[in-house]
Each structure stands twice: as C-alpha cells, then as structure tokens.
C-alpha cells in the first residue's frame, strides 16, 4: 500500500493492546517514512516493558471521558522530537510566539483548569481503576469460558495493561445469531453494549465517497466490524452485574436461531 505519495504510517494500539511496534518501525525505516501511534486506548500499557507514549515520531493519548484516565475531554501528544514539540506548542495557542506575534498555524488546544484538576484526581486513581478493570475482565473470562461461538479478547499478561475493554467476537455461524441481534437483546435488558468499531472509518464520510470500494481491500476490517461487541466495564460493574450479563448472553445464544428469526421479522 506504500506509494510515492506516502509520507507516514499510523499504528493503532487498539483496545489498549499494543501493535507490533518493531515491525512498523522497520517498514518505516526501509521506506523513509514517519511513524505516529494512536495510543488513545493505551495509557498505562506497555510494549516489551516500555510504556505507550514513547514510540515513533509521536504518540497521541486520549483523555476523553470514556477513557480509564480522563480530563472530561482532550488528550496529549508525546514526542522526543524537539522541533515537532515546538511547533505543537505554537499550534495549541493560536500560533502565538509572543505578544501579538503569530508565527505559525494554530488553533485553541489549551487545557482548562477544571479539566486539569479532573486529570490530577483521575491520575491518583488510575491504579485502582486498572485493578477493578482487571478483576472484571477475569470475571467475564470465567463466566463466559464455556460459551460457544463467542471469543473474549485476552491481554498479554507479560505486559502492563489497563484492561478497560471487554471485547467479544461473535461467530454467527456457530451461534446462529448475529452480533447486532445480541446487542439488541442486551439493550432491551439495559446492558449498553457497544458495536466497537462500527461501521468502520472507510464507510464514513468523506472516505466512503472518495473510496467507495475500500471494503474490497479491507476484508478483515469488514469482518470484524460485524462481529465485535464491547461489554460494560469499570467501577460501576461488579461480579453480580457481570454474572447477569453472562446469563443473558448464554440464554440468547442457547436459542440463537430462534432469536435471530424473531428479530428479523419487520416491525
């Protein structure tokens, strides 16, 4: 996919699981490309013992309210490149290099005091949040270990993880019921499971207009966007709630074909 127009590679640490950093860096070196990592999900996670935020030319962290560490909104960019850091500092403050002196392109990307205060509080609790997430992930694993046609995403125990994402992959050929059917059942029981990521960036604007046939080049992405389901996690979830979610899932999957047939009826 690399062409003369390619200037860089974006690696994504999806669900906090670090991507193959070494392989991407090797490709980048051979083709003289920049490497940027999307580490929105990966705060507190490591690759070969090294924390997310220290790889490539830059890494981006998200501090959105849905993340294990949050400042209500916003994020951070980390880099070891002094010149890139200088430009980004100018960009976040309208390009001001001094009083009434705009020397670079810019926007308003400064963090407000309330968000900073939330971040400090969240940072103090990060280890506790991670511990709860890990305990919940272990409980989901135990509750769903005998569920056929459903695979719970696992983490590399040799690395540090934030365990925030409880991700199921549904195989409709085994279960007789689709991921979307299962989500509808869970929502009807007030379990707010998410189709993560759906429908896929290539099926959103502007990409779907510019590249209407992108799906033909992305068969694995197409497959996963119809099969992945994220279950609730965090400090508001405990063993009792997880056991209830597991009961709903097992009951649904035990009558998969019947559930699918009923949900396929219009109206």
Q: Please report, for the chain, the start and end positions of each structural domain, with discontinuous segments joined by +.
A: 8-124, 126-264
CATH pick for 126-264 out of 3.90.930.12, 3.40.395.10, 3.40.718.10, 3.90.1150.10: 3.90.1150.10
Pairing state between β 96-98 and 75-78 = unpaired
> Torsion over CA of 54, 56, 57 and 58, rounded to 10 degrees?
-50
Fold of 8-124: 3.40.640
- How far apart are the C-alpha atoms of 164 and 134, rounded to whole Å? 8
**Which segments within the chain are labelled E, that is strand?**
8-12, 34-38, 46-47, 50-51, 58-62, 75-78, 96-98, 101-102, 150-152, 166-170, 228-231
Please write the tens of the pLDDT for every residue from 126-166. Answer: 999 999 999 999 999 999 998 999 999 999 999 999 999 99
Contact indicator for 43, 66 with CB cutoff of 8 Å: no
What residues of the chain score a pLDDT lower than 70? 267
SS3 track for 163-224: CCCEEEEECHHHHCCCHHHHHHHHHHCCCCCECCCCCCHHHCCCHHHHCCCHHHHCHHHHHH
Q: Model's pTM, two decimal places? A: 0.91
Contact indicator for 159, 46 with CB cutoff of 8 Å: yes
> Torsion over CA of 183, 184, 187 and 191, rounded to 10 degrees?
-30
The pLDDT assigned to 267 comes to 62
Peptide bond into 101 cis (omega under 30): no
- How far apart are the C-alpha atoms of 137 and 233, rounded to whole Å? 8
Beta bridge partners of 34: 8
Please write the tens of the pLDDT for every residue from 164-181. Answer: 999 999 999 999 999 999
Report the b/e string of 241-262 with b at 16+ CB within 10 A. Answer: ebeebbebbeebbeebeebbee
Q: Residue 193, Cα to own-chain centre: how many angstroms?
A: 14
The distance in angstroms from the start CA to the end CA of the chain is 44
Of the candidates 108, 116, 123, which has an alpha carbon nearest to the alpha carbon of residue 67?
A: 123
How many C-beta neighbours within 10 Å does residue 126 have? Answer: 14
């Amino acid at each position: 996919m690399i062409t003369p127009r390619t200037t860089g590679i974006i690696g994504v640490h999806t669900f906090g699981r670090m991507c193959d950093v070494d392989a991407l860096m090797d490709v980048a070196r051979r083709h003289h490309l920049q490497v940027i990592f999307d580490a929105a999900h990966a705060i507190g996670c490591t690759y070969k013992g090294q924390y997310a935020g220290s790889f490539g030319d830059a890494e981006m962290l998200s501090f959105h309210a849905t993340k294990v560490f949050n400042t209500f909104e916003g994020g951070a960019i980390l880099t070891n490149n002094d010149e890139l850091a200088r430009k980004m500092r100018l960009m976040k403050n309208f390009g001001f290099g001094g009083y009434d002196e705009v020397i670079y392109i810019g926007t308003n990307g400064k963090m407000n005091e309330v968000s900073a205060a939330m971040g400090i509080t969240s940072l103090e609790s990060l280890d506790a949040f991670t511990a709860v997430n890990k305990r919940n992930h272990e409980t989901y694993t135990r509750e769903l270990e005998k569920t056929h046609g459903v695979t719970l995403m696992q983490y590399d125990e040799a690395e540090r993880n934030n365990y925030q994402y409880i991700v199921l992959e549904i195989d409709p050929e085994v279960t007789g019921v689709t991921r979307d059917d299962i989500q509808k059942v869970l929502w009807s029981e007030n379990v707010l499971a998410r189709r993560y990521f759906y429908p896929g960036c290539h099926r959103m604007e502007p990409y779907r207009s510019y590249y209407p046939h992108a799906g033909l080049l992305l068969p694995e992405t197409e497959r996963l966007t119809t099969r992945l389901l994220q279950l609730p996690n965090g400090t508001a979830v405990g063993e009792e709630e997880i056991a209830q979610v597991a009961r709903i899932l097992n009951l649904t999957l035990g009558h998969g074909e019947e559930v699918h047939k009923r949900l396929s009826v219009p109206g």
